[in-house]
Amino acid sequence: MHDTLDLEQFLEDGFLVVDGLLDVSEVDLLSRIARADCELQRIAYGREDADGQAVVLSVRNDLVDDYYSAIARSRRIVDPMTSLLGDEVYHYHHKLILKEPRVGGAWEWHQDYGYWYDNGCLYPDMGSCLIAIDRATKENGCLQVLRGSHQMGRFNHGPIGAQTGADLERVEAAKARCELVHVELAPGSAVMFHANLLHRSDRNTSEHPRWALICCYNTRRNDPYKVGRHPNYTPLESFDDTQLRDAGMRHAERLELPC
């Protein structure tokens, strides 16, 4: 993940696919924990797309003793994101996307920095790592990106349904110049992407769920100049594989799941 070729690809494309970021046992544990987590379901909420269909998500700004936070701390993500963004990173927030069969709504075209700009982040030196919990396909609404669109800078954003989306006129122009990529992922695989990359997802019209964990990072030099929705800079203690496994076991035990 740290060689020059990967960095050059990220700088050129705005995203990088990482196969098998979590192994089969790790992503299976993540799936079982998320689906048994009543607290996750309690705090989840919907965001309606332009057609009134809701995407359900659950957002956390804090890192606690659970498996989601341990994954967000994992050196498998933190070290590559540090290299790709060129500075020490800290945890900005993490969220689970719960796109259910036949009813999971679309995400409209947007840039994450289109949201985060208003939180006092002066630079777009930010990024996310989306980890597939279920297999992500075109049919169940996988992530779509416009390759290289992060180089266009920040677009203006405004309301589309209950979501915030990028200026549609500029999006159409970007679509004419950038390759549309459907990022299909096996469970446990991931995509790391720049905060200015234009991306969206379709409704889930299949019989299969598409759940995902998205870990978001800001850089130390980009510490927001004001208090916003997500936290200011705090040094991030990253976890090795043993700490990751132990956190998963503790979380599973609290939910009375077989490990």
CATH code for the domain of 242: 2.60.120.620
- pLDDT-derived band at 49 (thresholds 50, 70, 90) equals confident
The answer to which of 81-85, 162-166, 216-220 has the lowest mean pLDDT is 162-166
Number of Cβ within a 10 Å radius of residue 162: 15
- Is 239 contained in some domain? yes
**Percent with pLDDT over 70 in the chain:** 97
Domain residue limits at 247 = 4-254
The string of pLDDT tens digits covering residues 5-43 is: 599 999 999 999 999 999 999 999 999 999 999 999 888
Q: What angle do CA 187, 193, 195 make, to 5 degrees?
A: 135
Amino acid at 185: L
Residue pair 37/30 in contact by the 8 Å Cβ criterion? no
Quick check: 2 pLDDT over 70? no
- Is 67 contained in some domain? yes
The string of pLDDT tens digits covering residues 200-226 is: 999 999 999 999 999 999 999 999 999
The total domain count for the chain is 1
- Is 32 contained in some domain? yes
Q: How far apart are CA 100 and CA 121, in angstroms?
A: 33
Pull the structure tokens for residue 186. 């096996």
* DSSP-derived pairing of the beta strands 126-132 and 107-110: unpaired
pLDDT, position 196: 98
pLDDT, position 1: 45
Q: What does the mean pLDDT of the chain come to?
A: 94
Closest-CA residue to 206 (of 60, 101, 133): 101
- Is 259 contained in some domain? no
pLDDT, position 13: 98
Amino acid at 242: T
**C-alpha separations of 108 from 144, 166, 199 in Å:** 10, 8, 8
Residue pair 154/117 in contact by the 8 Å Cβ criterion? yes
- Is 135 contained in some domain? yes
- Is 124 contained in some domain? yes
- Is 183 contained in some domain? yes
The string of pLDDT tens digits covering residues 173-195 is: 999 999 999 999 999 999 999 99
- pLDDT-derived band at 246 (thresholds 50, 70, 90) equals very high
At residue 73, φ and ψ (nearest 5 deg) are -85, -10
